Amino acid sequence: FWRPETRGISEPIHTSRAATASTWKPAPGKTSFQPHFFSGLLEDAAFIFAVLLFNAGLGTYQEYKAESAARSLKKAMQITALVTREGEREEVDSEGLVPGDLVSVKSGASVPADIRLLRVQDLQADESLLTGESVPVAKRADAELDPDTPLGDRSTLLHAGSSVASGRGTGIVCRTGTMTELGRIAKSLAEEEQLPPLVLKMRRFTRVIAIAILAAIVVLGLIQAVRGHELLDIFFLAVALAVSAIPAGLPVATTVALSIGSNRMAKRNVIVRKLPAVEGLGACTLIASDKTGTLTANRLTGKLIRPIEGEDVEVGGAGYAPEGTFTRDGEQVGEEGWLRDLIVSGALCNEAEYDVEDGEVRASGDTVDVAFLVLARKFGLTQRELSQDHPEVGGIPFESERRFAVSFNRHGDTVRAHVKGAAQTLAGMCAIDAEAVREREEALAAESYRVLAVAAGEVDEETAERADPSALHGLRFLGLVGLIDPVREEVPEAVEECRSAGVDVRMITGDHPRTALAIGRNLGLAQDDAAVVTGAEIGRREEGGSSHDARIRDAAIFARVEPRQKTTIIDTLQDAGHFVTVTGDGVNDAPALRSAHIGVSMGEGGTDVARNASDLILTDDNFASIVHGIEEGRIAYDNIRKVVWLLISTRLIHRNRG
């Protein structure tokens, strides 16, 4: 408990004030020397020590809050696992797992350790906690991977802290506790955090004052000694000079200025956890932002619908919000038959749930399925109405080997098959040119969309009852849907405002370089591959080579980056002279938030670990709020600078009059 207190008191300016408060000096009207407390100057000494205790107490509270990050992460790791030992299955706490245990996982389960997969059945894992990718990752037990494969591409491994989105699998525990990727993050949170710019500036300012005072004391001491004054008189002259030169009110005045700035920031959706961060955000020269959930909505969204013939239809809105329009070349699209059929089929061939009640969105299930339900809602169709009008009579669930899913629904007196899946697979079920489908699919994929095709057609009752996939032929190919985690609507303008304020913006993500570049283009961060640095390049730099430092300093986008590599990026940018602010919302962002000069986390969609590792919290998860925070931070810095000059000038005037 006392460690943060003593560290706060040990700041140079506080140490000097404590020393002068405890020195002996002549009591008024007396020739004997007594300490401040007994010399009639009790008020001065009490004031000095009150300031010290106030600042130290504030530091203790702040550090206690910051150190709760590791505790939050530990709670996130407290899960159970289904283990097979000596031929018998039992459920054990994750802390009881050891390397070599045989663990089984299924849909909805949290992964208790790093697991090397032996068998899988349509297994997909949500690794957004570690990589930031918003799309579940397919796992394969038989894949052959290079030892240097990035974290997001390790398809044979399940990582602790991730969750099983669908399917099931069995594997052997290969790493537990602090040896897992999640454990490494926990260890990094216990390391010393970066000091805010204000603390660094105040320390530098205090050193300058101390050196100036020491020089003055030496000169005046020598002059007094030459004049024959006693050593004790020379000592108290030095103490008096130190007391008069050190601005006693500076800590209090700084705290008041920062508190005012903190209140102003709170009104603009920025909560301050550590007071020095108020000025620090205003002093930052570079923002290194996480992509998923910060620059983007972290919600897979259908943004483009492409027919085989004709022009694309663009879909407005982002995330799970039900608002959005369908446009073609900027003009709103009417209720075209093929478009309605595609949206209806996508919503009926669906296992997710989506509803909006009193303005609150409720969604569950596979993110792709939810995206199709949101499309239907934007088109004016609800899942409940469609299910009532066209009841399901059978279906074929999605499997990675088949690469499609089917729902058989009744339409009046007929039964229709609604199919959703891989474009080439569905093209084989339809009377259509497969090459034309492939070309259009590849064009969408080149723009970093995740592409799914939709088809539909009448089938007989027997096919629906038997759910026979081989009987699906002669269907109508309705079109392709491009899905992507879209950029938040307010972010491009906020990025431009940051640049206007002299603050550079970089993007860090665990996504594929092609996806990262597409998002970067939308934000105006980069236009070609030369601006993208991958985690593999950073890894080579970590192995001892410094030739990649220039690439890191100049890059605008960092892709396929692992959590520990984010700190390497931040350290390199700081070494280049930048005051770095990092934004993030996930556990994978926590090490970078802690190592940056200023860490900014998300209040609504962020994790407890990220919030506890940060200095500031955005209550609205809006990147644009950072711009307001920078504005308020610069106002606070200007006020602190005025206070410093005022106190120094008044001390000099007071000394000259003395």
Tell me the residue ranges of DSSP E strands in 150-274. Answer: 157-158, 163-175, 270-272
Of the candidates 276, 284, 281, 280, the one whose C-alpha atom is nearest the C-alpha of residue 259 is 276
Q: Which two tokens stand for residue 292?
A: 């998923």
SS3 of the chain: helix, strand, coil, percent, to 5: 45, 25, 30
Q: Which of 101, 114, 126, 290 is catalytic?
A: 290
Q: Is 290 a catalytic residue?
A: yes
**Measured between alpha carbons, how far is 195 from 594 in angstroms, rounded to an integer?**
10
Tell me the residue ranges of DSSP E strands in 71-211. Answer: 80-85, 88-93, 102-106, 114-126, 137-138, 157-158, 163-175
CB-hemisphere CA count at 13 Å for 303? 19
Angle separating helix axes 250-266 and 42-66, nearest 10 degrees: 40
Amino acid symbol at 455: A
Cα–Cα distances in angstroms (integers) from residue 489 to residues 47, 72, 209, 579, in the given order: 51, 32, 48, 27
Q: How far is CA 500 from the centre of its chain?
A: 24
What is the pairing mode between strands 270-272 and 137-138? Answer: unpaired
Of the candidates 318, 328, 326, 238, the one whose C-alpha atom is nearest the C-alpha of residue 621 is 318
Of the candidates 566, 496, 490, 499, the one whose C-alpha atom is nearest the C-alpha of residue 535 is 566
Beta-carbon contacts of 390 under 8 Å, excluding residues fewer than 6 positions away, are 344, 348, 409, 410, 411, 416
DSSP 89: E
* C-beta separation of 591 from 188 below 8 A: yes
Residue with tokens 């957004």: 128
- In terms of DSSP H, where are the helices of 319-429? 337-348, 367-378, 383-389, 423-427
Q: Provide the Cα torsion 92, 95, 100, 104; round to 10°.
A: 40
Q: Does residue 149 sit in helix, strand or coil?
A: coil
**Measured between alpha carbons, how far is 474 from 488 in angstroms, rounded to an integer?**
40
Burial of residue 175, with CB atoms counted within 10 A of its CB: 0-12 exposed, 13-18 middle, 19 or more buried:
buried
Count of Cβ atoms closer than 10 Å to residue 634 Cβ: 16
For 352-367, b where at least 16 C-beta lie within 10 A, e where not — what string? bebeeeeeebebeebb
**Measured between alpha carbons, how far is 157 from 172 in angstroms, rounded to an integer?**
10
What is the set of active-site residues? 290
